[in-house]
Structure 1
Amino acid sequence: MTVETIAVGQEDPCHGRAVSFRDNVSGYDIRVTTPNHSPELWRRYLDGARAAYRHYDNEPALEYDAVIDGSSTALFFAATDPAGEIVGGLRVQGPYIWVSEVGSLTPWAGRAGAAELSLMMARRIPRGVVESRAVWVARDAARRNELAAAISRCMAHAPRILGARYGFATVASFTTERHRASGGVLAQLIPPVPYPDERYRTLPIWWDTRTYHVFADKLQYLLMRGELRAMGLAEPRSRRSHRLFGHGEEECYAYGR
């Protein structure tokens, strides 16, 4: 099943400048910019991603040659240590216009859940969908777990920076708790797929900028509020008096089944 729809427009996400914040838990600085604005940083981020993906023998999933020119990347996040070395980051695509643009849906083609996942994407695209890709954290980074949590929060920040409602990613099953802590919700009833190979079980996950604060863990939410302020962005509503229908699966229409 192929579903196409029209997306919202996009403005310059960084307003011609880079923005940044410090992760107060891991101590790393995280810069948000575009390949055009910061080409040297972009190359260093992507080379770090290639080294990380190569270590785990899944470099083809990075699509390095296809993305190195930066044209498919709306913005990227790069975490740096005090010496200026890049120790992690991610890049963001979108907002999408067509479901067929979302190449990360391909692993579900011909499998259970493919039609449902395409429909989820089609329902959201008119309100804006951006996708986090090439996510990595250096294996030898100090406070690596804390840095990984900060990178997950960046995945939640991406749609707000780009003026979209939804963030999307396909993630390894062993990382889902970290992403849930930042307000991510697993797509309901979509079975995992063995991607990029049989060693992994990959799942789709969503962030809704209107409601992720309801699902996020308290500490992560507080950190996210501070990071948004540091980037000069409006904070999400802080009402946290209830959880919609549960933390585990995507069960409210606000996330759109």
Structure 2
Amino acid sequence: MTVETIAVGQGEYPRHLRTAGFRDNVSGYEICATTPDRSPELWHRYLTGAQEAYRHFGNERVLEYENVVDGASTALFFAATDRAGNVVAGLRIQGPYTWASEVSSLRPWNGRAGAADLNLMMARRIPRGVVEARAAWVARGIPCRNELAAAISRCIAHAPRLLDARYCFATVASFTADRHRASGGLIASSIPPVPYPDDRYRTVPIWWDTRTYRVFADELQYLMMRGELRAMGLAEHRPRRARQPFGHAGEECSAHAR
């Protein structure tokens, strides 16, 4: 896949970014990072795949398809394609946010334990730049599905770098937590999970911090992320030590730099 490098500059509006991408060396799939207005046909194929994946589990409503189909709320999306050009996985990114009230994925905690702490986490990070991963999916029955799912998780970590933000936020099913931890995501462990979108799931909030994710990522995943950043024309920030990068109530983590 031939791609252009995303040009990221301070204050540059994300919807003017150019296309970027990389090949996942483990699964063999090509992954493109682009915007709905630059790649409208790919955008609609990504959404069609998302509908099919979510419909299979009876969760299509959480996509909010009618609200997102025009692409206006999506700053960036990732689409993975096979050799035939079929879209087999992807996710979309919203933000950067201005107010915590914009983050609709916080609503499942309304009226529940942890709501105030989670809103405070969001509000404290927004001045430093917060984007959010939404509608991630991987097609069923494809070769190397688990490996591709790991690559999609790494894309979540790449998203804030591409959009000149510091953090990426997501709400994920608890059974996917280990995969996201491997790419440097940190579960907000003191926030109780919620049964969203229904009682079959325990959904938890998770953060990626571009300044510290390398401390928490699995070594192999981190090495792959470095190569993917280079492929997209992004230099990695210099490593830094991190003992407790979040440091506020409701977030518990500790680690040492590599």
Q: So what's the TM-score if we normalise by structure 2?
A: 0.90
Q: CA deviation at 1:140?
A: 1.5
> What are the superposed Cα offsets for residues 79-100 of structure 1, whole Å, 9 maximum, x if unpaired?
0000000000000000000111
Count, aligned residues: 242
> Is the contact made by 1:128 and 1:164 (CA closer than 8 Å) also made in structure 2?
yes
Q: 2:132 maps to what in 1? A: 131
- Asked if residue 41 in structure 1 is aligned to residue 42 in structure 2, the reply is yes
CA distance in 2, matches of 1:94, 1:172: 21
Q: How does 1:1-257 map to 2 (within 5 A)?
A: 10-13=11-14, 16-238=17-239, 244=243, 250-251=251-252
What secondary structure, in the 3-state scheme, does the structure 2 residue paired with 1:132 have? strand
CA distance in 1, matches of 2:151, 2:97: 25
Segments of 5+ residues of structure 1 without an aligned counterpart are 1-8
> Is the contact made by 2:190 and 2:252 (CA closer than 8 Å) also made in structure 1?
no
Question: Which residue identity is paired with 1:178?
Answer: R
Kindly, what percent of the aligned residue pairs are identical? 72
> Is the contact made by 1:153 and 1:224 (CA closer than 8 Å) also made in structure 2?
yes
What secondary structure, in the 3-state scheme, does the structure 1 residue paired with 2:225 have? helix
Q: CA deviation at 1:205?
A: 0.1
Instruction: Tell me which of the two structures has the higher relative contact order, counting C-alpha pairs closer than 8 angstroms and 6 or more residues apart.
Output: 1
What secondary structure, in the 3-state scheme, does the structure 2 residue paired with 1:91 have? strand
Question: Which residue identity is paired with 2:97?
Answer: Y
Q: CA deviation at 1:237?
A: 2.5
Q: Per the alignment, do residues 10 and 139 of structure 1 end up closer, same or farther by CA in structure 2, a change over 3 Å counting?
A: farther
Q: CA RMSD in A?
A: 1.9
Segments of 5+ residues of structure 2 without an aligned counterpart are 1-9
> Is the contact made by 1:213 and 1:237 (CA closer than 8 Å) also made in structure 2?
no
Q: So what's the TM-score if we normalise by structure 1?
A: 0.90
CA distance in 2, matches of 1:153, 1:164: 16
CA distance in 2, matches of 1:123, 1:54: 35
> Is the contact made by 2:15 and 2:75 (CA closer than 8 Å) also made in structure 1?
no
Q: CA deviation at 1:250?
A: 3.8
CA distance in 2, matches of 1:210, 1:76: 22
Q: CA deviation at 1:33?
A: 0.3
Question: Which residue identity is paired with 1:244?
Answer: R
> What are the superposed Cα offsets for residues 14-65 of structure 1, whole Å, 9 maximum, x if unpaired?
7542111000000000000000000000000001000000000000011111
> Is the contact made by 2:80 and 2:88 (CA closer than 8 Å) also made in structure 1?
yes
Question: Which residue identity is paired with 1:66?
Answer: N
